[in-house]
A and B are shown apart, each in its own frame.
Chain A
Amino acid sequence: MSGDGFSRRQFVTAGGAALVSGLAGCSGGGDGGDGGAATDTMSSADTVKIGVLEDQSGNFALVGDPKYKASMLAIEEINNDGGIDGKQIEPVARDPQSDNQRYQELTREFISEEEVDVLWAGYSSATREAIRPIINRNEQLYFYTTQYEGGVCDKTTFAVGPTARQQLGSVLPYLVEEFGPKIYTIAADYNFGQLSADWVKVLADENDAEVVGEEFIPLSESSFGSVINNIQDAEPDFVMSMLVGANHTSFYEQKASAGLDVPIGTSTAMAQGYEHRRLDPPAMENIYAGVNYMEEVPTESNTGDGGFVDRYYDMYPDADYVNEEAETNYFSTYMYKEAVEQAGTLEQPEVIEALESGISLGTERAPEAPEGETIELDGATHHVDHHMWVLRADGEHNIEEVTNRKIPEQFLSNTVGCDLTQEDEQTQYTPVDYFEEAE
């Protein structure tokens, strides 16, 4: 891919070209059902096939597009730097359009026909759960990079995004200390929102705070008059918000215009959908995001000149924002490179083994992850001990750092005892099985 920016016009023509090849349909090149010795085309013998399925249209395009762009950036950098173990990376990318049905079909095609060596796919938890049966059946090495509710202990899945416990664990204690113990939780009314709300209860118990109210809002809701009134009625010290999606963004706008100025801790706002760039100030004033990464994270490897942000915008001049998931796509590609070079082969079981031997970025062998310091991939749980930041937006939506510290993934390792180096598993654990206060 040429070095200059991947402007929209080029993308459209590429789309057109893909359209034509696409018409040949998924039955085209594939050598059909015969599972005999794969008569690989020559190119795949000495290239690394990386499959990237990220939403560039549909409901999750806003947060999915940066993920796609970051993967392409990492791949281009590695290729320019000699590739993996001397082999150039051949990216295989299609737009699933935020449609779980397309994810399933494209995952099938990427595994059985394109025969990708590794797969990055999916923003929402629903998408992960939709394709995990296909991943498990084919024992396909799979990176899931979105921050999520946590608890997935799966032999071939690497959930390298931060978990709800890590994110809420970074922002909630600070807010309790800073503003007081009374918490009001508002969350999107689906799995992620409900499990995150359970984690707020667990963390409140650990930090002797108290959840005075909890409210779940359907993804399709966009008027928050009653929610704002309930918050005012409960008079909490701060609010924990795990709202998700386009419709929920309007909560922040409506909260500001209703004059509700209680501090709000969040694990989803600003870092994923960059609301502070899209809404008019002071909508996001006094919002505290507990995340592993945002474009404004002040580390040398991120905002320093020639850093990750600069390189990202060099490649995509008209990109909107470098969000949390983009960084995870980026550094996890380097983790994969490390693992393949350690394993010396593309065979997925060996690469998984190398990944489980503990890959860390920020050492002399591998560049530092944009979120800063060294971060390690924990072999047993396939999760990452992230460098967690708490960042606050002021009246003009400028982002300032509040705290930052390393928070390891504890739920799967300590509480559940998931150790994939010892025994294979493909289950998702939830806090309610282990903490009674999460009832």
Chain B
Amino acid sequence: MAAESATGADRGALARIRGRLEGPNTVGNSTGFWIGFAVAVLALVAYPLVGNGESFSLFLVLALLGLSLSLVWGYSGVLSFGQVVFFGVGGYTFGVVSINLPDPTGITAAALTGVVVGGITAALLGYFMFYGGVRDVYVTIITLVSTMVLQTFMAQTAGSEWTIGEAALGGFNGMPAIPLLELGITGVVSYQFVFNTLELFVPGLGTVEVDPFYYLALAALVAAYLGLRVLVNSDFGRVMVAVREDQDRTQMFGYDVKRVKLLTFTVGGALAALSGVLYAARNVYIDPQVFALWFATLPVIWVSVGGRKSLLGAVIATIGIEYFRLSVQGEMALVVLGALLLVFILALPGGIVPWIAGKISGSAVPVSELDDADAPAEVSES
């Protein structure tokens, strides 16, 4: 390519950023996709002006949980029922630490601790399984059983002896009185996101009050999505996909498959824990229902319906299914939901987003337009 002009330079930087975000492992690499993506994010930003941001924020939080499974299952082939374990551990840790340190610094620390403890739990369970040679359906069943262990255990922590410092675990009734989420440093700067209203001046609509937590959840979701896109399109992402496709062959290319799975499982666990922290902060409450079998199955359904090999599919399916599940009413609600799941998975086994992507780009494989994403300013000698 000729020497870069000034505009060329930032176009180069933009292309470099896009280069990192794109790759064969993600659906949607065309400019059209990014325009659509920008429009979607803008729509979500404007949503609270029209709809009820406070209740919609739940779907954004749960989408993070869907993303965590999409990463672990869709990209490294580990079908885990354990994401809700790390979700619950994250939520409970946030509750315990924030109840004991209720000032902004303490609450911020609680949020971080929740994510870290969730990640560590994932690492421990991951080490227990992957370094023990446990594979395929056995991993699924172990993670399934781990949710039952936690539910049975947490349900009976109701007595007064089950308090950590000030925080009573609360057993089946759940942990009451989690402090309101206020992030920042005490005395320096802090902002309360939950049960608070934010005045926005919107030309044409005047000042509008919106729920700040909605934007925190939206920011976390968009950041996580883009972060994961970079991860799955990076070199490590390519190894993850190789492990998913054929872990024995990948081992023969010198990769430590166990370590790859453990790292992905830990990152997935931390992401699920982040979702749990936001869930507990939003509802100011968390109970052992988060470890229930039906709740543990939901992420598998979101990712299967959305598309196993697509991060975007997991996000869209989570928001769509949960929005529908919550708003549909009447006795027939569960019947309709069950029937829909049946039809979706039988008719579109690959999931919606890959099917749509296939339709749009006309070819079975979303081929990346940029010929080589590594560095745009290449000079090819040969």
Contact = CB atoms under 8 A, between A and B. Distances in A.
A27 B51 contact: yes
Interface residues of B, number: 46
A33 B329 contact: no
B287 A12 contact: no
Contacts of B50: 27, 32
B333 A15 contact: yes
Given A95-B329, A190-B172, A34 B155 contact: no
Interface stretch (A108-116, A277-285, A297-305, A322-330): A108-116
Nearest to A36: B209
Contact of A125 (B54, B55, B173, B328): B173
A132 B176 contact: yes
Contact of A100 (B158, B287, B330): B287
A108 B55 contact: yes
Interface stretch (A163-171, A212-220, A247-255, A368-376): A212-220
Contacts of B48: 32-33
A126 interface: yes
Interface string A152-173: 0000000000000000000000
B34 interface: no
Contact of B330 (A18, A34, A432): A18
Interface string B280-294: 000111010100000
B66 interface: no
A216 to B, nearest CB: 7
Interface in B164-187: 170-174, 176-177
B53 interface: yes
Interface string B317-358: 000000110111111111010000000000000000000000
A417 B209 CA distance: 40
A128 B172 CA distance: 12
Given A26-B52, A33-B53, A112-B54, A11 B155 contact: no
A105 interface: yes
Interface in A178-228: 189-192, 194-195, 216, 218-220
Given A32-B50, A130-B285, A190-B172, A22 B197 contact: no
A102 B326 contact: yes
Contacts of B171: 190-191, 194
Given A130-B174, A191-B171, A33 B330 contact: no
B58 interface: yes
Nearest to B177: A133
A33 B210 contact: yes
Contacts of A191: 158, 170-173
B52 A101 contact: no
A32 B49 contact: yes
Contacts of B332: 12, 15-16, 19
B176 A94 contact: no
Contacts of B327: 22-26
B208 interface: yes
Contacts of B190: none
A97 interface: yes
Given A34-B208, A194-B171, A189 B155 contact: yes
Contacts of B156: 189-190, 194, 216, 218
B331 A57 contact: yes
Interface in B204-235: 208-211
Contacts of B330: 12, 14-19, 22, 95
A119 to B, nearest CB: 16
Interface string B27-59: 000000000000000000000111111111010
Interface in A56-112: 56-57, 94-95, 97, 99-102, 104-105, 108-109, 112
Contact of A432 (B49, B58, B160, B174): B160
A56 B289 CA distance: 18
A320 interface: no
A26 B324 CA distance: 10
Contacts of A133: 176-177, 283-285
B53 to A, nearest CB: 6
Interface string A21-57: 1111111001011110000000000000000000011
A126 B49 contact: no
B362 interface: no
Contacts of A125: 172-173
Nearest to B153: A218
A153 to B, nearest CB: 14
A219 B176 contact: no
A430 interface: yes
A180 B217 CA distance: 60
A17 B283 CA distance: 30
Nearest to A138: B195
Contacts of B283: 104, 130, 133
B64 to A, nearest CB: 15
A347 interface: no
Contacts of A101: 58, 289, 326
Contact of B58 (A94, A105, A130, A428): A105
B155 A219 contact: yes
A100 B289 contact: yes
B51 A194 contact: no
B152 interface: yes
B155 A190 contact: yes
B288 to A, nearest CB: 9
Nearest to B175: A129
Nearest to B322: A101
Name the residue among A24, A102, A104 with the largest chain B CB count within 10 angstroms: A104
Interface in B81-100: none
Contacts of A132: 176
B159 interface: yes
A99 B331 CA distance: 14
A94 B330 CA distance: 7
B329 A94 contact: yes
Given A22-B329, A57-B331, A95-B333, A130 B54 contact: no
Contact of B174 (A26, A95, A126): A126
Given A34-B208, A191-B170, A26 B55 contact: yes
B331 A95 contact: yes
Interface in A405-434: 428, 430, 432
A365 interface: no
Nearest to B324: A23
B200 to A, nearest CB: 9
Contacts of A189: 155-156
Contacts of A12: 330-332
13 contacts: A22-B333, A25-B327, A33-B49, A33-B52, A33-B210, A34-B208, A112-B52, A126-B172, A130-B283, A132-B176, A133-B176, A190-B158, A194-B158
Interface of A: 11-12, 14-19, 21-27, 30, 32-35, 56-57, 94-95, 97, 99-102, 104-105, 108-109, 112-113, 125-126, 128-130, 132-133, 137, 189-192, 194-195, 216, 218-220, 428, 430, 432
User: Closest 4 A-B residue pairs measured CB to CB?
Assistant: A15-B330, A27-B51, A190-B172, A191-B158
